[in-house]
Structure 1
Amino acid sequence: MNDFIAARSQMGLSLGFHIVFSCIGMVMPFFMAVAHFYWLRTNNIVYKNITKAWSKGVAIFFATGAVSGTVLSFELGLLWPEFMKHAGPIFGMPFSLEGTAFFIEAIALGFFLYGWDRFNKWFHWLTGVVVGVSGLVSGILVVAANAWMNSPAGFDFVNGQYLNIDPVKAMFNDAWFSQALHMCIAAFSATGFAVAGIHALMILKKQNVYFHTQAFRIAAVFACVAALLQPLSGDISAKDVSKRQPAKLAAMEAHFHTEPAAPLLIGGIPDVAAQKVNYGLQIPGLLSFMVHGDFKTPVDGLDKIPVENQPPVSITHYAFQIMVGLGMVMLLIAVCYFIAILKKKSWLSRQWLLRMFVIATPMGFIAVEAGWTVTEVGRQPWIINGIMRTADAVTPMPGIVYSFYIFTAMYISLSLIVTFLLYRQIKMVGKIYDVKNQAV
């Protein structure tokens, strides 16, 4: 492994872990706030217990997210100094605002965790809402910075110089809305299915059934609403990619040849050398319709992209297929759940419905990781799309491969610690609350 691959691998590893922590940190406070609201309105102690149990998880992921996010900020400067030299003054605004949002989130979380029976009950609830809103804003700002890398704006690039810098225009670049929308909905879907799946498992094990049933319902509604909205945001994102990053779209679809009535590919194994796809299912004209709104207009294939500017096709295609496939599975579960709520109440007590949520527990985060892979790998070989190549931005410092090994060990250890803490927290629920959900 050379230093360039090691630098990319370390950045990918850091992002892969941080995105899970950040998604949960963005979304769980909203679950917590809803449970808290039910407690204040109904005085049913089960909702207070759910709120307290979830707040401990929020604290765990806030701490790990803060650590992993700080590491990422250092890695940008240490691993990609040439990139930060030019890009820092242009897209620094969303990062600085993200720091402010994080600061507010930290204060609000402190107020919430230590405010039980100390503040006015509605002010206390409001601090929990602020945790969620500031966390969501923080995530949107970070995605806006990433969107700038896909759709650079707010400067003029003349003779290798970055001139006429406009940080506001850079932050609100053409890709920020579609990426932020898709990422936020994905965070709600992934976190919702993970939380609902854990509570569904506890219900199937008949452990504190009433407690876990009420918690499951809150998480499941968030998850299923997000799963229904996800294809719509995905369509918006795909149309944006087709305009600004045709090479990425062609790699996503393993679309080698420009042709009218371009088919939509489902599955398949790309053969880059032969410029074809084996074993895939093609639906004629559907890709043209999804991109252009009609079934005839050609969609640019990889044959329109110089070879040196083409992203890795196989990785991008497989990741895209995983993301879409898991999204469709979660959409099906969401449809079943809403049918159960609206038409088939008896389904809500059926084990097969709960088992579907248990099976779906990791699906959302796998889809998030796959989607992030599409975003990052599909942009290669550019770190700033069409402006700066990734190979030109990497640090000249030797020995990056050892740094990668150290960070790999560190993140594996961190993930094991977080898993242990969450497992202990879930087990403690059964000890802290009795069957009637009165706090012991």
Structure 2
Amino acid sequence: MTDLLAARLQMAMSLMFHILFAVAGIAMPLLMVLAEARWLKTRDEIYRTLAKRWCRGTAILFAVGAVTGTVLSFELGLLWPGFMEFAGPVIGLPFAMEGFAFFLEAIFLGIYLYGWDGKVPERVHFVAGILVCICGTLSGIFVVTANAWMNTPAGFDIEQGMAVNIDPWAAMWNPASLAQTSHMTIAAFQSVAFAVAAIHAAVLLRNPGATAHRKALAIALPVAVVTALIQPLSGDFSAKVVAESQPIKLAALEGQWETERGAPLRIGGWPDEEAEETRYAIEIPYLLSILAFNDPQAEVAGLKTVPPEDRPPVAITHFSFQIMVGCGMVMMLTALITLFLWWRGAKGPPQEWMTRHPWFLKLLIANGPLGLIAVEAGWIATEVGRQPWVIQGVMRTKDAVTQVPNIWMSLVSFTLLYLFLGIIVTILLKRQVFASLPGDGPNTDPEVD
């Protein structure tokens, strides 16, 4: 294993592990605030318990996210010194603002976590929860702007191999910032809402009378439905930005080898990088040109327009993109089914019609992991699709990696660390979050058969 491959694998593993906690840090505060809002309005103690339970889960995930995020910041400097030397002065602003938002989130989360039972006034406590949600969302947005800059670098000139005439605001709000931040933020709320809904649906499938879980599902499911329906619009916007700014990435995502007008959209398929063709795909004529440029006769660049050394790994990019889109389509279909059931059962409250159909609860359970899978697959498509560039058109990944040998030892060490953290988080969440809730009645604890 080369040091470059080991460094890339370690960074990929760290990002894929951390992103699970990052999306939870963005989305879980919204659910706990919605639960507390219901408690303030109805004084139903079940909502208060839900808010406290979800807050505990948020705190656990936040703590592990802080650890993995710190590891990532060190890895940027240790594994990619060439990148940090060049990019540090340009994208230092969003990282600084992310750190500020992160610290504010930690402060308000502490107030929210320990401010129950009259320790702080109810309104202050509720506002603290809202600020946790806002700061967590902003923290994610600032980090994603830095990644967007790597895809569409802006806000600097190059002289003698170094960045000069730096405009940090132009760098942060580069051409891909709005598309990537909106797509990722919606994905965070969508993935976590579906995961939470699946957990409570699993309990309800075994015990439809579990009142607390019915009310929890009634909070999480609307968030899942709304985000699943608007995410395709965000995805379309992101695809158009990629088509304009990274045509070779778009070609890899779609397995498009030839430059052609009226390019088809491919569903599935197997990209053969040696034969330079994509086999077994279902092709919909003209649709890629329409989606990318709003013109059925628009020209779409193919992978063959650049030499092989300038192309990303096509198979990984294509498959991960297909997985992301497929998961998104299933969640969107589930959202439409939910709206239909809501319309049919509109005479009753949501917590009644949702448990009327066991098959619907099973559908929600099946959707549980799809959002998180889509998030992981989307990041693989984004990062691998930019290769061989760490900064698109400016710096190649091989020129950014450290010269320190034996990176594989670091890869093994951090793999074991993340495995340990994953086990600890699973145990803590099972004990602190998935215990029985008041009003569940007998045999409603997820741990009880």
TM-score of the two chains, using structure 1 as the length reference: 0.97
Instruction: Give matches, 1:350-361, under 5 Å.
Output: 350-361=357-368
Would the aligned equivalents of 1:53 and 1:429 in 2 still touch at CA under 8 Å? Answer: no
Match of 2:436? 429
CA drift of 1:427 comes to 4.1
Would the aligned equivalents of 1:94 and 1:171 in 2 still touch at CA under 8 Å? Answer: yes
Match of residue 390, structure 1, among 393, 397, 403: 397
Match of residue 406, structure 2, among 395, 399, 403: 399
CA drift of 1:243 comes to 0.7
2:44 matches 1:44: yes
Instruction: Give matches, 1:217-366, under 5 Å.
Output: 217-345=218-346, 346=353, 348-366=355-373
CA distance in 1 between partners of 2:266 and 2:379 (Å): 20
| SS class of match (2:299) | coil
CA distance in 1 between partners of 2:419 and 2:248 (Å): 34
CA distance in 1 between partners of 2:283 and 2:434 (Å): 48
Letter in 1 for 2:121: N
| SS class of match (1:428) | coil
CA distance in 1 between partners of 2:394 and 2:220 (Å): 42
CA drift of 1:390 comes to 0.4
CA drift of 1:266 comes to 0.3
CA distance in 1 between partners of 2:330 and 2:20 (Å): 20
2:79 matches 1:74: no
| SS class of match (2:435) | helix
Would the aligned equivalents of 2:204 and 2:355 in 1 still touch at CA under 8 Å? Answer: no
Would the aligned equivalents of 1:257 and 1:300 in 2 still touch at CA under 8 Å? Answer: yes
Letter in 1 for 2:62: F
Would the aligned equivalents of 2:210 and 2:441 in 1 still touch at CA under 8 Å? Answer: no
Match of 2:134? 133
Match of 1:32? 32
| SS class of match (1:157) | strand
Q: 1:166–1:427: structure 2 CA closer, same or farther, 3 Å change rule?
A: closer
CA distance in 2 between partners of 1:133 and 1:355 (Å): 33
| SS class of match (2:292) | helix
CA distance in 2 between partners of 1:270 and 1:4 (Å): 24
Letter in 2 for 1:376: E
CA distance in 2 between partners of 1:6 and 1:301 (Å): 30
CA distance in 2 between partners of 1:85 and 1:333 (Å): 46
CA distance in 2 between partners of 1:349 and 1:290 (Å): 39
CA drift of 1:398 comes to 0.7
2:427 matches 1:420: yes
CA drift of 1:122 comes to 0.9
Would the aligned equivalents of 1:104 and 1:134 in 2 still touch at CA under 8 Å? Answer: yes
After alignment, is 421-430 or 275-284 more displaced? Answer: 421-430
Match of 1:86? 86
CA distance in 1 between partners of 2:14 and 2:432 (Å): 25
Letter in 1 for 2:170: K
Would the aligned equivalents of 1:242 and 1:291 in 2 still touch at CA under 8 Å? Answer: yes
After alignment, is 73-82 or 153-162 more displaced? Answer: 153-162
Deviations 1:56-115 (A, max 9, x none): 100001101100000000000000001101100100000001111011101101101111
CA drift of 1:161 comes to 2.6
CA drift of 1:159 comes to 3.8
CA distance in 2 between partners of 1:231 and 1:74 (Å): 35
Letter in 1 for 2:373: I
Would the aligned equivalents of 1:341 and 1:348 in 2 still touch at CA under 8 Å? Answer: no
CA drift of 1:347 comes to 6.0
CA drift of 1:343 comes to 2.8
Uncovered stretches (5+) of structure 2, i.e. residues with no partner: 347-352, 443-449
CA drift of 1:348 comes to 4.8
Letter in 1 for 2:394: I
Deviations 1:304-358 (A, max 9, x none): 1222211000000000000000100000000011111123455652111111110
Aligned pairs, how many? 435
| SS class of match (1:143) | helix
CA distance in 1 between partners of 2:135 and 2:172 (Å): 18
Match of 1:12? 12
| SS class of match (1:133) | helix
CA distance in 2 between partners of 1:435 and 1:281 (Å): 48
CA drift of 1:207 comes to 7.5
2:152 matches 1:151: yes
Aligned-residue sequence identity (percent) comes to 50
Would the aligned equivalents of 1:152 and 1:170 in 2 still touch at CA under 8 Å? Answer: yes
Letter in 1 for 2:226: V
CA drift of 1:435 comes to 3.4
CA distance in 2 between partners of 1:338 and 1:260 (Å): 38
